[in-house]
Amino acid sequence: MNIVVCAKVVPDYEVPASDFELVNGRAHKRFTRMIGLYDENAVEVGVQLKEKYNGNLIIISYGREEDIPILRKAIAMGGDKLIIIIGNSDDPYIISENLKMGIERIGDVDFVLAGRQSADMDRGIVPGILAGMLNYTFVPQVTQIELINGLWKAIQVTEKGIREIKVSKKAVFSITDDPGNIPRIPPVRRILAAKKMPVEKLNEIQVPPMQIEEISVDIPKIEIECEFLSVEDPKEAARALLNRLKEERYL
């Protein structure tokens, strides 16, 4: 069984808005880079499936060559192979076409996992575009996957609850966080072994970008000054807060 996980390296998503800085419309290069928030959940789901069904877990990424050391974390978590397609586009069609190229080189792939959305572009569309290109079924916002009588059953989170879905075709699942797929911390021996693992590097293929024009990227100004209330007496603080909320007609 070949399981592919698409992982993207992004600027530190924990940087507070007040410290955030743009250069040419993208996050400043000074920010630490890390595997995307939900991509790590996707890797964890992949590792759990590999352990349960004795599969082969391949991590594939489109991005910069200097991100390879960061992607090795996914190997330490349990990945068997790392493929990186070297490129620096943000365009979802260019990223998806290149991921497709990498996935097709692997050969027989049972399914593809990806985080529900990257922590930089906030789009959540690459997994679905990739599914279309691969002619796979797309199932978004999945937390768990299991094999039942030869078919995959996925748990999908909706706005109101969950769905259990049986999948009869090859699929791309986009993974969302859940207490059951929080990434486990890899043991030191696996971190060390991951550093030595050879990485397959591929050159990107040239494909046309999507036809939209990016006019500007700005940091929204937050012009709120927090009014701190005294807390010497909790009950007085509570009373003062409720009074202020009423004065400002919020309550």
**Long-range contacts from 193-199, C-beta under 8 angstroms, 24+ separation:** 193/75, 193/76, 194/72, 194/73, 194/75, 194/76, 194/79, 195/69, 195/72, 197/72, 197/75, 197/81, 197/82, 199/68, 199/71, 199/82, 199/83, 199/84
Is residue 150 near another protein by the rule CB under 8 A? no
Is residue 222 near another protein by the rule CB under 8 A? yes
Give, as ranges, the residues between 81 and 100 that touch another protein (CB under 8 A): 92, 96
Min CB(145)–another protein separation in Å: 13
- Applying CB under 8 A, the site for another protein has a residue count of 90
Q: CA 72 to CA 35: how far, in whole Å?
A: 10
Is residue 239 near another protein by the rule CB under 8 A? yes
Chosen residue from 123, 184, 195, 201 binding another protein by CB under 8 A:
123
Task: Kindly list the distances between the CA atom of residue 109 and the CA atoms of 55, 104, 136, in Å, as whole numbers in the listed order.
Answer: 11, 8, 11
- Return the number of the residue (192 or 217) whose C-beta is nearest another protein: 217
* Pairing assessment for the beta strands 171-175 and 2-6 based on DSSP bridges: unpaired
Backbone φ and ψ for 16, nearest 5 degrees, come out as -65, 155
Q: CA 251 to CA 244: how far, in whole Å?
A: 9
Is residue 147 near another protein by the rule CB under 8 A? no
Where does this chain touch another protein (CB under 8 A) — which range of 50-58, 79-87, 161-169, 196-204? 161-169
Cβ atoms 4, 58 nearer than 8 A = yes
Min CB(5)–another protein separation in Å: 18
- Return the number of the residue (3 or 119) whose C-beta is nearest another protein: 119
Binding mask 26-65 for another protein (x = CB under 8 A): -x---------xx---------------------------
Is residue 207 near another protein by the rule CB under 8 A? no
Is residue 247 near another protein by the rule CB under 8 A? no
Task: Kindly list the distances between the CA atom of residue 146 and the CA atoms of 51, 150, 155, in Å, as whole numbers in the listed order.
Answer: 12, 10, 9
Is residue 244 near another protein by the rule CB under 8 A? yes
Where does this chain touch another protein (CB under 8 A) — which range of 44-52, 71-79, 80-88, 170-178? 170-178
